[in-house]
Structure 1
């Protein structure tokens, strides 16, 4: 009887203390859906990459820090080709500049943009105020980290992927 009461008490504590998952941009939230056209005009949903670790990366061809970060992202992407996806959302308004930056950087991962700059619905969904901005999302779409760059990003990805 004591064992049953103990289990029942534990279960009640778990149920009453659990926090419901919400869609949002805080760590622990479900990342808002993004469904934008890629470089060829095909819609690519962020949720289509679920099942693995995803870095949602907001950038623009005119953003110096964004361009400077791309070689490190390329190295990270090639280090974990089957375990890490990158979903880059460009804030460019001119497709030729966007495509030229992708080609120059030799960026092989998913690239999307609606070419609306700050008028895109994604800006509000992700509370975007400036670029670069990123979100590291787990296989279930849960935000693990945000605005993480450089060595901190490398170490977090390494620890998450080597723990699997």
Structure 2
């Protein structure tokens, strides 16, 4: 009987541990924390946006597809100003190019960068291999979609926020 109870207890622990949520970059994971400076040099913490849907957008001023998608992001930001937060993480290495791209694109959301490009800690945390790359995070910080762009991104955000 003791042996059976021990085995049962062990199996319960294994099952419980396997269902525990982990910090990672896959759908269902808790999004890794990001704390980087904005254009004014003030650190902005990703988790400060909890409570709303968050799009983490990895981009760069030199990335054509990134710049091409910005009008859609502006449209979505303007459509859901109180429900959708965008946290732009730039892979730029030169602040003037980054701030000029923000101004030119009229990007009203939070934009951060440490100008370390591929040496930034966020590269490993989010398994970044190229830009553009994005992650859609629910109000609790859980990744619910990743690397969706264009109409698929627009449809997903509309589906989640139109109620």
TM over 0.5: yes
Q: How far apart are residue 106 of structure 1 and its match?
A: 0.3
CA distance in 2, matches of 1:17, 1:135: 25
Quote the residue 1:4 is aligned against. Answer: none
Q: Which residue of 1 aligns with 2:77?
A: 77
What is the total number of aligned residue pairs between the two structures? 150
Between the aligned partners of 1:32 and 1:148, the Cα distance in structure 2 is 19
- The separation in 1 between residues aligned to 2:30 and 2:133, in whole angstroms, is 17
Secondary structure at the counterpart of residue 30 of structure 2: coil
Structure 1 unaligned segments of length 5 or more: list them: 1-11
> What's the TM-score once normalised by structure 2's chain length?
0.89
More off after superposition, 87-96 vs 16-25 = 16-25
Note the C-alpha offset of 1:16: 5.3
By how many angstroms is 1:17 displaced? 9.6
Paired position in structure 1 for 2:45? 45
1:90 aligns to what? Answer: 90
Superposed counterparts of 1:1-164, under 5 Å: 19-163=19-163
Q: What is the root-mean-square deviation in Å for CA atoms of aligned residues?
A: 1.4
Provide the secondary structure at the position in 2 that maps to 1:124. Answer: helix
Shift of 1:152: 0.8
> What whole-Å deviation, never above 9, does each CA across 1:119-148 have from its counterpart, x for those lacking one?
000100000000000000000000000001
3-state secondary structure, aligned to 2:135:
strand
TM-fit CA distance, 1:162? 1.8
**In 1: Cα distance, 2:75 partner to 2:16 partner:** 44
Q: Runs in 1 of length 4+ with deviation above 3 angstroms?
A: 15-18
